[in-house]
A and B are shown apart, each in its own frame.
Chain A
Amino acid sequence: MNTIRRTFLKAGVAGGTVAVAASAGLLTPGSVLAAWPKSAFETKKMNEAIKILNGSDSTSNSKDISVEAPDIAENGAVVSVTVKTKLANVEKISIFVPENASPLASSYVLSKQTDGFVTGRIKMRKTSDVIAVIKAGGKLYTAKKPVKVTLGGCGG
């Protein structure tokens, strides 16, 4: 009786360990992905990148977002872009350049304390729109600004 109980317990513990190991193994890529979404940066399709980052790719145009960038960028290697929004509860701001080899340039995850405002410098291969996708209150909003590039900045 006792031995059976022991065996049962042992088996239970062993089984548990396997389950934990399996779930840990399964979880690892997930947590890495959450930290830095490699696939979103590698994909050549903008919609796919939006989906990976935000869980959905259905965006609607918004007048409450302003994308500030130069009309003509002489040097595509350094294009200063500012994204501002009046939307409340901004969770994420992502900046895309559809004409680049990989459209996703950068993505910012905001806390509740943080304003809907970020500035950064991005590279642009050639003349293209700069698109901002903002996740606010669980919904996706977008706005864009065309930038003319006279000298590409992605090498090659």
Chain B
Amino acid sequence: MAKKMKVRAWTSGEKTTVKAILFHPMETGIRKDKATGKVIPAHYITEVKCEHQGKNVLTCLWGPGVSKNPFLSFRFKGAKKGDSLKISWVDNKGGSATTTAKIG
């Protein structure tokens, strides 16, 4: 299966910056297939959890208004090099993925 997300995290000073791209179609459920005229069913990520060393740092609640292949960036304090950062998501159809990145 194709890779479901790309995560980069690095520390400079006391802050850690995280950038992630999640590969997902993010269908709104309004869009129509031009060839068949049928509505493409909604398929989007609902929740993304970002954990630093098992501790939740950010929870994203997303709706269909988030772009295809969503990009996410945020910063947090208290991490050091080599720590783990786990990002996991679930979508409205029960799909999910988890990636663990090392903070560099």
A114→B30 contact, CB < 8 A: no
Complex interface: chain B residues within 8 A of A107 (CB): 60-62
A129→B76 CA distance, assembly (Å): 28
Complex interface: chain B residues within 8 A of A36 (CB): 46-47, 61
Q: Which of B46, B57, B67 makes the CB contact (< 8 A) with A122?
A: B67
Q: Is A54 an interface residue (CB 8 A)?
A: no
A111→B30 contact, CB < 8 A: no
Q: Is B97 an interface residue (CB 8 A)?
A: no
B65→A106 contact, CB < 8 A: yes
B59→A123 contact, CB < 8 A: no
Q: Which of A37, A119, A120 makes the CB contact (< 8 A) with B66?
A: A120
Q: Is B73 an interface residue (CB 8 A)?
A: yes
Complex interface: chain B residues within 8 A of A2 (CB): none
Chain B positions 61 through 99: 1 when the CB is less than 8 Å from some CB of chain A, otherwise 0: 111111110111111111000000000000000000000
Q: Is A150 an interface residue (CB 8 A)?
A: no
Q: Which of B47, B65, B78 makes the CB contact (< 8 A) with A123?
A: B65
B31→A156 contact, CB < 8 A: yes
Given A111-B76, A115-B15, A121-B71, decide whether A100 and B65 contact each other with a Cβ distance below 8 A.
Answer: yes
Chain A positions 119 through 141: 1 when the CB is less than 8 Å from some CB of chain B, otherwise 0: 11111000000000000000000
B75→A115 contact, CB < 8 A: yes
A36→B70 CA distance, assembly (Å): 18
- Which residues in A have some Cβ–Cβ distance to B below 8 Å? 35-37, 41, 77-80, 82, 97, 100-102, 104-111, 113-115, 117-123, 153-156
Cross-chain pairs A/B with CB under 8 angstroms, 10 sampled: A36-B46, A41-B64, A102-B63, A106-B63, A106-B65, A108-B74, A118-B74, A120-B72, A121-B71, A154-B65
Beyond A101-B28, A106-B66, A115-B15, 12 extra complex contacts between A and B, CB < 8 Å: A79-B67, A108-B59, A110-B58, A111-B55, A113-B55, A113-B57, A113-B78, A114-B58, A115-B75, A115-B76, A120-B71, A123-B28
